Amino acid sequence: MIGLGTSLLRRGRRAVAPTAGLAVALVLLTGCGEQPAPLTQGPEGAAPADALTRVVELAAERAVVSDRVAAAKLDTGRAVTDPEREAAVVADARADATRDGVDPEWVARVVADQIAASTQVQEGLLRQWEERPDSRPADRPDLAQVRPDLDRIGDELVTALKGAAPARAHEDCPAALAQAAVAQAENLDELHRAALGRALSSVCDSTPE
């Protein structure tokens, strides 16, 4: 899903500096019907925009942790995907969302996207390590050592999504999400940037194509 990642990053760069035409349009729209509350409105650190940023941070962290997952599977014959475990992770997230009063199907989609993004990273790295043996990691952690981090990120993601829920259908959601993604992408290589875009594809109800 490199296209999606690129689209998010481009949208974010455009959002940083609105065009004059957009500024004029916003002025003309002022007072024309009830306007949605800004995503920045709310207690410090707890506005919907802050929660969106946290979602992006966690998605980026999970993409990076996927490096350790790939290293744990290297030369073991273990498949990249584990449908049974992945289904359990999504089911747990759905249950946590229901408990916390968040749309469980939305949370399930976002969590499934994290898994797909992780698969994307793992496949990319395993292919790279096969083609370039000199780039193989020296550290080969046991998968059991990595899973606590994955579980923690998953729990924190559900909490962040609860805070971001008011932003989900907001017209500014894609732009705010993209801006946060641009900031995170500065520290990522191409493989992980593409995975980040994949991981964020269901956060807003209308993600830019």
pLDDT score for 77: 86
User: Taking a C-beta distance cutoff of 8 angstroms, is the pair 48, 166 a contact?
Assistant: yes
Show the 3-state SS of the chain.
Answer: CHHHHHHHHHHHHHHHCCCHHHHHHHHHHCCCCCCCCCCCCCCCCCCHHHHHHHHHHHHHHHHHHHHHHHHHHCCCCCCCCCHHHHHHHHHHHHHHHHHHCCCHHHHHHHHHHHHHHHHHHHHHHHHHHHHCHHHCCCCCCCHHHHHHHHHHHHHHHHHHHHHHHHHCCCCCHHHHHHHHHHHHHCCCCHHHHHHHHHHCCCCCCCCCC
129 vs 29, more confident: 129
Residue 49 sits at the vertex; the CA angle it makes with 117 and 168, to the nearest 5 degrees, is 65
Structural domains in the chain? 48-200 (1.20.59.10)
Distance between CA atoms of 178 and 112, rounded to whole angstroms? 20
Residue of 175, 201, 53 whose CA lies nearest to 120: 201
Tokens for 63, please give them: 């993409």
- Note the pTM of the prediction, 2 decimals: 0.79
Tens-place pLDDT, residues 41-57: 544 444 788 999 999 99
pLDDT score for 8: 61
Distance between CA atoms of 160 and 59, rounded to whole angstroms? 11
Residue keyed to tokens 């994290």: 114
Mean pLDDT (whole number) for 93-119: 97
pLDDT score for 103: 97
Tens-place pLDDT, residues 21-39: 433 333 333 334 444 455 5
Tens-place pLDDT, residues 131-141: 999 999 988 99
Average pLDDT of the chain to the nearest whole number: 83
Residue type, 141: P
Residue of 27, 209, 202, 199 whose CA lies nearest to 114: 199
Residue % of the chain over a pLDDT of 90: 70
Reported residue count of the chain is 209
